[in-house]
Structure 1
């Protein structure tokens, strides 16, 4: 026997049995405690019968429609004593001002409602949008969804509202659903219920009225009730088992509101009326059988799913007769109240029933403290809404939703970057995307874009490039703000996607996952990430996932045809490379950090200490500040960008030869207790032969600080000696210093000779010297039998993905990307731009361990983070932990020497403004500074990394304002203050 043939009495008994079982665990909505309160009693006594009906009516309001709309709302409030306003599009500041004005005009405080399923950003500009519910359905930690609900309550209340028409508790089991779809938590009724409850509890614990929707279940429809009345033809047994399940669980959990949908469900009401007008569905099923006692709200009474065939006023009366407490967005307030009042006067509905519903509404108003209403301030409104916790929470939710469906051969996260030649293609984009910009942070990637309606020529150009790369990263984008289940790409673009070389392709899908089923072969990609939507965070974090900045454990909330089933999702470990995030994610206060750093950096720029600079701060492997400041040079308008590269000066010491020396030390090919003459025979029998490398690297060997090698090229009259420098290159003069300065091929020997013959200091005590670092590249070549630059490139920079960390940048990069340094009037007699500032390094062909490296903050930070990680980065060990610890510890404290091996360390005793580090830098910390205005510092105790790049030597090295201001160490102290 089919369920349809079961007598109604038996069916009602079935529901009654279920209802009694649920009653034992059902939690009553909290606001109902106020239905008989003194305040509610006083309001009821002040209202006429017509004014009481007005409390059932809520109308739509906008904060972007101008004075005429405002006047209409004020008139409606005055004339009809309506119970609430449902706000739609606008901005938060105007929203608050209007709500204050409307409240002031109302006899009874107004309930302010909003349809903000994914946050205020659904309706108001300049506010946050959290991920859509389908993305949230992939999250395994429902605590995050609870936290979102609580934060949403804070934000909604901050703009003067009290009720959110959320959560959507529909089970979306129809992939073609045009109205629910991405708004649902998914197709699993248990997960939909669990996540709906978490969301609801967060909002209600935050003091917000919530309404589950769209009762009794809008998930399995192919019609949009905004435009027509959908029909659901399932049996009552199926509806009870599936569609109603989340709503029943929410009722048991104490949800305080329920929104009824406009649906035709013959199994629940054979009359064919919309569920919003159905006594059988609202009164008999929702209230009597399921025991719901909270607010019952209609879906918008202007939607065609209910207005079609029903007259204004009449339809609103029918909605009240069916059992609704609140009529949301009626077409005509006057007709609605008039028709309802007629029904009361005729005894069709009792005044007692109306009064009970009004008391319920008033009780909800008291629960949200409208009995103590005060106008809201607009000061700091945007900061209160876009607060650090909310911004981080949005990213946490997005990260937790990322779902990896394919990861063949453990491709993700990418490893061995030095073996990869990568191209990215953003499909559905006509300019470089956020996804591609974030990919750039990890390694060199060549980017291409393909618009939705791309020409055959554009596609052929990309196809021609594909064979040159061994890894293709594809972003499939969506040009709509909401991820609908559609494919808008032209047929030719779809064909292009389906013919990609999936054997070496990673796809990040920024669209509704259902639509994957409409693209053949996409499931054959070697790596497939579902990101659910095309927002900034989804793009950014998906790119980070590919390189291991973040991990993934999302699970697909819906099935995708026969390709993937609900619950699919692989776990990917993150944290092997930088995570780019917000300060709060690393336990730092963003206000302290941003304000402190910005003010000090702006002070330095305003006082001409430097034209501009780049800063990067990372804590716990998380980049929390990565910013460019100011201009590339004075009297210019070109701003510094994060891609620009700086002359690292003496930071080259710890960034080039030193990691090579440490690696050779690990391999037993270098001994700290041996001297220069053991590796460079030229120094046999010199006065430096008995100094070992431990002493030399700790600046304890008595070496002179520096030799001005360039002066030896000059005659007394200032011209260059014949055997040193020529204006043009030749076989004898192949070393380029500048475009019109070419150094003799043997001059390097003269530099070595000058070092060899240089006198030693009288005492072997701490004295900073760069002489050894002029020799180290040659020494490393002697040990390894490899070209020095190739050696550090292959063993460090290429593996790290640090492609801007380089010597002689003018050979690789456009000059516009290289920050200029000094106007050299002593040696080169021209502005130095694109080549090393240090004269000695310039005379070494730009390749020295004393100076010569260039980089942006991001790439240099990878090497420094490797040190901070005690030798590892990207899942690979570069240097043994014991070696890093040996080189970064103080070597000769008994001689009042604070240095490590190559690395600088904090002074043994803090010397206030004369110290080389911030007061709170730990004794374990280490780093280096550079003459051009550079500072890098690592603190293992706090897992803190700090990089400061500038060109303070422009236009002259005599500009020492940066030192006098103590900008670098003052900024460093801000970092510790932000941690506190």
Structure 2
């Protein structure tokens, strides 16, 4: 290939290309070109060894011993300058790189294509968002952070160079090779994002190369397979394609990678740009004043190899002005061809030496003059650090782009009015997106396969008619978000039709260009673009829909006539729980996870509990949520996060207390009132003068409890004839079990027994269930509504707490409900799906002292509302001052730690047996339950803790959970993680 045939273009370039003549920042590494170390290495190299320094070959860590031996031979015999690593795993790569370095006369320069992080090439590593998604981000400091983190990971794997960032302006939607790898179509956005990413990497000590010079964005051909041609004028190339390269060169980028492109306006000979002196030497080096390292794109790509021989083509690339040859296929021949070129005067030895000095200067800049082997121990843990994962989370969240939000549909409001269905299109099973939607409200899920036919679509359309909100997730099953739509015409028509409906939310997990292939999608009331499909994008899109997170991304590319680059609506978040990582709220994930995991494992192994759920939220972010163990001992049913637990006495603060506080807000309930004010039959009782403040603080002199169930039994253990029957009837309607039905008047007998019960002698703290058993009737008399229905309407449904319920077996399958005790005293069966407390089951399963079931996530919504001062999801449920009053200690002078209905930390911490962790603040409040539950809120830390378990399985006599003090030990772990 003749490099000199393009010299005649120089006058045109000098006249026509208005390249900015500003002084570019000289790459830092150049300071070492004449260093003592570089001099010493240069003096030790033969001519062949110097040429070898200009060569970088491909290495893999998943190809076994034969490949390793081939690389070792090139290192030892040809004295190559570096390796670019491709597929493999980090541990193997480090081990191999250490071996290769040991065999090399001059330390090897290690490189990798890690445009979106090591996950681009290596297994078990993080893949950050593709550059198109990064192009949507408005906070460029995140790009600096990304660069620094990617650099850390690159160095941890024993490498020194990242062939990134891509600075191509992608102005061709059909571009098959750049596309989602570009920051977008706006040259300013591309340039500023590229500079930030580059600076983050280089500031952290990793050498970078801007690629693919002079611009690969407007091609319809993949240069891996053929030579693309770009037919634009010099003026257009100068104003658009070259602009980001100018900017990043001015910012001090260390290297530039040259693409294999045919650009007639720059070189009319048709040679690939990699072999064009006019493009590399005259344009890049002289006009753009680039003094750094010039690297070829891979020299095995068809865009440069077609019609060119290995070795010869590499020589021609050096003659054109490149410094480093990437992916040379024939190293010995390349060295021989370069030697011949020197002999023929096509290039001088001085030119070669200057290139070698550049490469050695890079090696010194990255620290190879002080080379030490890289340890492989803990490498995967180091690469997948909590900080690295959190950064990925932040980047994805920042990239979320809302293109439509008619009538401020997002985030969803008034959940109690919505009957929601979700459809995952292009999925065969329930997706992470759908599971994440279910964290917020009741959602019925459907799947529509990629090739669904008209019958399947018609059936689904019929089913969706009963819902007033439909959420479509348009998924991408491919590894990369190509500009392709592999859906049947029927599926495409389905999306198009639903886009025109009034209450449709579309979350688009595909390449945004694909939007242009779906008619009418621009008319969707709400449209979210995530740029790619992953568990993280799916989770965060669901959180965005419900207001857990917000969005402010801007579309980095235009989508036909539907949307223009730069479009994107701001949607506020933070109105409901979000789901993140401990580090997002300043907690240490290692302390948190190890501490909770080990304590839960201990409790399970010691048979304190068969399993459980633990949820931790801080600053309204759920940062830990796990299920452990099994439903019962020696079971095969693992506990799932969606399973329901019997909350036992946590029912008090999750049912009675929110209603009383709401009624207090509207002056329908006063703390100086008494039971006699709301229950006529108490007007002559010994409890008629006891104020609610005393009762709720558990110092109203009420008896702790009465074993009501025992009154149904004769001395011989059989049931009294008027209490329980085997079959239901009008007189015996209260179901205890399938074979036990209680007399309809028995609840009245329970209330009568409470009314008639004697008072304790002293007015001091004595925990009692009595008022909470009576509370549903008190509330009904005040509101005129049934207790359970009132709770659902005023709290649980608006909160989206769909599993928070009484009598769960009426709504949920038994497999979703965790069993409690094997009752051999009263019910004579294993209790599963009904309340454990005997008094509560005798009240029909609905009581204020026990009876609620929930999973940790739904219970968290109510408790977070408390932490928020009575507000959640942009809805105020309670006044903040009311919550402060009800959750403060009422009678400390009486040595009573209790608030109103809520438990509080002991007035003086008494050691490991205290009721809370030692670091729980005095402002904190919560409750525990007999079945093993504990919930606690700490306003000082905005910290929420939920522990659900069934320690009464198989018997209530099991006290190991108390003996181990598991619940409060876990609670202390939370504070340790905060104060790390």
Q: Normalising by structure 1, what TM-score?
A: 0.98
**Pairwise CA distance, 1:14:** 5.7
| Residue equivalent to 1:685 | 684
Q: Could you tell me whether the CA contact under 8 Å between 2:16 and 2:234 is conserved in 1?
A: no
Q: Find the counterpart in structure 2 of residue 589 from structure 1.
A: 588
Show CA shifts across 1:861-900 (max 9, x none): 1000011111011110011111111110111111011111
Secondary structure, aligned partner of 1:448: strand
SS of the residue 2:222 aligns to = coil
**Residue 799 of structure 2 corresponds to which residue in structure 1?**
800
Match of 2:894 in 1: 895
Match of 1:953 in 2: 952
Residue 102 in 1 paired to residue 104 in 2? Answer: no
Stretch of structure 1 that moved more, 844-853 or 339-348: 339-348
More divergent stretch after superposition (638-647 vs 486-495)? 486-495
In the alignment, the residues of structure 2 paired with residue 698 and residue 344 of structure 1 have an alpha-carbon distance, to the nearest angstrom, of: 95
Q: CA-to-partner distance for each residue in 1:7-59, whole Å, 9 max, x for gaps?
A: 953641565x745x311xx2110011111111111111111001100111111
Query: Deviation per CA, 1:951-978, whole angstroms, max 9, x where unpaired?
Result: 0011111111000111000100000000
| 1:770 aligned residue | 769
Q: Is the 8 A contact 2:141 2:196 kept in 1?
A: yes
Matched, 1:352 2:350: yes
Deviation string, structure 1 residues 738-781 (Cα, Å, up to 9, x no partner): 11110000001110110001010001111111100000011111
Would you say the 8 A contact 2:820–2:952 is kept in 1?
yes
Task: Give the secondary structure class of the aligned counterpart of 1:900.
Answer: coil
Aligned to 1:751: 750
Q: Trace 1:416-495 onto structure 2 (pairs within 5 A).
A: 416-495=414-493
Local SS of the residue matching 2:649:
helix
Moved more, 262-271 or 617-626: 262-271
Within the alignment, does 1:112 sit opposite 2:114 as a pair? no
Deviation at 1:852, TM superposition (A): 0.3
2:3 maps to what in 1? Answer: none
Q: For residue 682 of structure 1, report the CA deviation from its aligned partner.
A: 1.1
Residue 848 of structure 1 is matched in structure 2 by: 847
Contact kept in structure 1, 2:427 and 2:449, CA below 8 Å: yes
Matches within 5 A, 1:827-842: 827-842=826-841
Give distance in 2, aligned partners of 1:791 and 1:9.
84
Partners of 1:18 and 1:164 lie apart in 2 by 27
SS of alignment partner, residue 211 of structure 2: strand
State the match for 2:65 in structure 1.
67
Q: Quick one: distance in 2 between partners of 1:7 and 1:847?
A: 88
For residue 314 of structure 1, the aligned residue among 312, 315, 325 is 312
Secondary structure at 2:912 match in 1: helix
1:233 to 226, 231, 234: 231
> SS in structure 2 opposite 1:286?
helix
Corresponding position of 1:400: 398
* Other-structure match for 2:174: 176
Name the SS for the 2:540 alignment partner: helix
Residue 879 of structure 1 corresponds to 878
Deviations for 1:502-546, whole angstroms, at most 9, x for unmatched residues? 321000000000110000011111100000000111111000000
Any idea what the Cα deviations from partners look like across 1:561-617, whole Å, max 9, x if unmatched? 111101100000000000100000011000010001111111111100000100000
1:336-374 alpha-carbon deviations (Å, 9 max, x no partner): 111111101222110000000001000000111111111
* Superposition deviation, residue 384 in structure 1: 0.4
1: CA distance, partners of 2:583 / 2:369: 36
Match of 1:338 in 2: 336
Query: Do residues 612 (structure 1) and 611 (structure 2) align?
Result: yes
Matching of residue 188 in structure 1 with residue 186 in structure 2: yes
**Partner SS for 1:923:** coil
The CA distance in 2 between the partners of 1:393 and 1:573, in whole Å, is 20
Quick one: distance in 1 between partners of 2:453 and 2:558? Answer: 33
What's the CA shift string for 1:440-463, capped at 9, x where partnerless? 100110001111112333222211
List 4+ stretches of structure 1 deviating above 6 A.
none
Q: 2:157 aligns with which of 156, 159, 173?
A: 159
- Counterpart CA distance in 1 for 2:234 and 2:819 is 76
Q: Match of 2:241, SS? A: coil
> Secondary structure of the equivalent of 1:449?
strand
CA distance in 1, matches of 2:452, 2:122: 33
**1:272 and 2:270 correspond:** yes
Secondary structure of 2:84's match? Answer: strand
**Cα distance, 1:233 vs structure 2:** 1.3
Q: How does 1:524-603 map to 2 (within 5 A)?
A: 524-603=523-602
Describe the superposition over 1:822-860 as per-residue Cα deviations: whole angstroms up to 9, x where unpaired.
Answer: 111111111111110000001000000010000000000
Q: After alignment, is 605-614 or 330-339 more displaced? A: 330-339
How far apart in 1 are the matches of 2:617 and 2:373? 42
Equivalent residues in 2 for 1:277-316, closer than 5 Å:
277-316=275-314
C-alpha distance in structure 1 between counterparts of 2:19 and 2:441, whole Å: 59
Deviation at 1:331, TM superposition (A): 2.1
Distance across 2 between alignment mates of 1:292 and 1:650: 72
Q: Deviations over 1:672-708 (max 9, x none)?
A: 1100010011111100000011110011110010011
Task: Say whether residues 1:12 and 2:14 are aligned partners.
Answer: yes
Aligned to 1:694: 693
1:390 to 368, 381, 388: 388
CA distance in structure 2 between the aligned counterparts of 1:446 and 1:841, rounded to whole angstroms: 31
Once residues 867 and 461 of structure 1 are traced to their aligned partners in structure 2, the CA distance between those partners, rounded to angstroms, is 43
The aligned residue for residue 140 of structure 2 is: 142
Task: Please give the secondary structure, in 1, of the residue aligned with 2:704.
Answer: coil
RMSD of aligned alpha carbons: 1.2
Provide the C-alpha distance between the structure 2 equivalents of 1:515 and 1:406, rounded to a whole number of angstroms: 16
Per-residue CA deviation, residues 293-318 of structure 1 (Å, 9 max, x unaligned), is: 11100001111111111111111111
- Mapped to 2, the partners of 1:18 and 1:856 lie a distance apart of 64
1:640 to partner: Cα distance: 0.5
Q: Which residue of 1 aligns with 2:639?
A: 640
Give distance in 1, aligned partners of 2:161 and 2:883. Answer: 57
Shift of 1:162: 0.6
SS in 2 for 1:508: strand
CA distance in 2, matches of 1:73, 1:451: 46
* Distance in 2 separating the partners of 1:442 and 1:259: 47
For each residue in 1:704-729, what CA deviation from the matched residue of structure 2 results, as whole angstroms up to 9, or x when unmatched? Answer: 10011111111111111111111111
- Of 243, 247, 250 in structure 2, the residue corresponding to residue 249 of structure 1 is 247
Match of 1:497 among 491, 495, 498: 495
For residues 825 and 314 of structure 1, the distance between their equivalents in structure 2, rounded to whole angstroms, comes to 89
User: What is the Cα deviation at residue 176 of structure 1?
Assistant: 1.1
Distance in 2, Cα, partners of 1:678 & 1:502: 52
**Aligned with 2:494: secondary structure?**
helix
Segments of 5+ residues of structure 2 without an aligned counterpart are 1-5
Paired position in structure 2 for 1:224? 222
Listed one character per residue, the Cα deviations across residues 138-184 of structure 1 (whole Å, up to 9, x for unaligned) are 00000001100100000011111110110000011111111111000
Query: In the alignment, which of 211, 214, 219 is matched to residue 213 of structure 1?
Result: 211
For residue 227 of structure 1, report the CA deviation from its aligned partner. Answer: 1.0
Deviations 1:905-925 (A, max 9, x none): 111111112211000000000
Distance 1:869 1:115 in 2: 46
- TM-score, scaled relative to structure 2: 0.98
Residue in structure 1 matching 2:257, options 256, 259, 275: 259
Match of 1:121 among 114, 119, 124: 119
**Secondary structure of 1:562's aligned partner:** coil
